[in-house]
Amino acid sequence: MKLLKAVSLNKKYGMERGWFTRNARSVHAVNNLSLSLESGETLGLVGESGCGKSTLARLLLGLEKPSSGRVMYRNEDYTDWTFSEMRMIRRKMQMVFQNSLASFNPLFTVEQIIGEPLRNYGERKAGARRATVADTLELVGLERRHIHRYPHELSGGQQQRVGIARAIALRPELIICDEPFSSLDVTLRKQMMDLLQELKHELGLSYVFITHDLSVVNRFCDSVAVMCQGEIVEKQSGATMLQQADHPYTKTLLSSVPVQDPRLRKKRLGEEWQPSHSYDVK
């Protein structure tokens, strides 16, 4: 069953005419983009910085309104819903941010950070919230003693685990991960990927996993969509894309993945990709 579906999404940011600009310009962050996510699927969304991945995440979560196009969750079109209407499905869709520390209130303890969505969605009893927070901490591999700590007292890996715990506190169906491992070293990155896989099977989660690193998609993602200048230029399974990419841009991304052993480095795949201009001048 289709859990999430986007149809012909466009998001345009306009720049008003000023003293030093004769013509008003507009930037297409997302350009006529369509995609779908099955229940229980992990969809990888890859592309270079600035190609519109984070803008697409905000559109899917209803944090921004598209210039045109539709977004549906379980066939329910929520494109034009108001903030209060979005509460009906927002607890089913959560997000893990790239920089967890920046997304935390520094004056909140771990208990308050994870308990805030519970309180916002009706759990008024402090004792019940604390019990849920403690159980959720154990799910992400943290001990109950971390419940009284502040964000700055945690390591980078622990901060990311708290960010994941906050996302799953309401037991959502969909989690959008926006470059969640970019600030972590290789060892922690593997631990976080293993954790997300375990949570997927234990809680029945679906993921949209945003990254610019193609080296993680083979073992983590069921399917991969390659995004370039606001468009999906290719979509395949993770294993197939690594072995048989079709689009020149995808081949260029693959050729940039570092290989530890120089003897195993392959020739760059295909011709060098030259992006076109990203502005529409009016």
Residue of higher predicted confidence among 60 and 28: 60
pLDDT at 57: 92
Q: Give rounded-to-5 percent helix, strand, coil for the chain.
A: 40, 25, 35
Is 279 part of any domain? no
Is the pLDDT assigned to residue 262 strictly greater than 80?
no
What is the tens place of the pLDDT at every residue in 131-146?
A: 999 999 999 999 989 9
Residue 129 sits in the same domain as residue 71: no
Give the integer Cα–Cα distance in Å for 282 and 273. Answer: 26
**1 and 87: one domain?**
yes
Is pLDDT of 279 > 70? no
Q: Residues 153, 57: one domain? A: no
Q: Of the residues 115, 145, 171, which one is the last residue of a structural domain?
A: 171
- Mean pLDDT on 9-14: 89
- Is the pLDDT at 183 greater than 60? The verdict is yes
Which residue among 117, 148, 171 closes a domain?
171
Reply yes or no on whether the pLDDT at 87 is more than 70.
Answer: yes
pLDDT higher than threshold 50 for residue 278: no
User: Which positions ≥6 away from 244 have C-beta within 8 Å?
Assistant: 236
Domain enclosing residue 203, as ranges: 1-15+25-92+173-258
185 and 70 share one domain: yes
Mark whether 88 and 109 lie in a shared domain.
no
The domain tally of the chain equals: 2
How far CA 229 is from CA of 24, 46, 92, 101, in Å, comes to 20, 12, 29, 29
Q: Are residues 9 and 46 in the same domain?
A: yes
Same domain, 163 and 250: no
CA pair distance 108, 277, nearest whole angstrom: 44
The stretch 67-94 carries a mean pLDDT of 91
Sheet holding 42-46, edge to edge: 93-96, 174-178, 206-211, 42-46, 223-228, 231-237
Q: Which residues contact 197 (CB under 8 A, 6 or more apart)?
A: 220
Helix (H) or strand (E) holding 195: helix 186-203
Same domain, 177 and 87: yes
Residue 272 lies in a domain: no
* Average confidence (pLDDT) over 144-162: 92
Q: Does the pLDDT at position 127 exceed 70? A: yes
Residue 90: band (very low, low, confident or very high) from pLDDT cuts 50, 70, 90:
confident
Burial 62-82 (b: 16+ CB within 10 A, else e): beeebbebebbbeeeebbebe
Q: Are residues 108 and 84 in the same domain?
A: no
Non-local CB neighbours of 64 within 8 Å, separated by 6+ positions: 11, 55, 58
Residue 36, domain member (yes or no): yes
Claim to verify: residue 2 and residue 88 sit in the same structural domain:
yes
The number of CA neighbours under 13 Å toward the Cβ of 239 is 2
Residue 97 lies in a domain: no
3-state SS, residue 72 = strand
In-domain check, residue 148: yes
Distance CA 90, CA 87 (A): 5
Q: Regarding predicted confidence, which is higher, 119 or 260? A: 119
Position 280 scores a pLDDT of 43
DSSP 260: S
Query: Which of the four pLDDT bands, split at 50, 70 and 90, describes residue 277?
Result: very low
**Do 38 and 125 lie in a common domain?**
no
pLDDT of the residue at 105:
92
- Write the pLDDT tens digit of every residue in 105-114: 999 999 999 9
In this prediction the pTM is 0.84
What pLDDT sits at residue 16?
60
Helices 110-120, 156-168: inter-axial angle, 10-degree rounding: 20
Number of helices and strands in the chain (H, E): 10, 11
Q: Are residues 178 and 87 in the same domain?
A: yes
Q: Is residue 207 part of a domain?
A: yes
% pLDDT > 70, the chain? 87
Distance CA 81, CA 161 (A): 31
Assigned domain for 166 exists = yes
216, pLDDT greater than 50: yes
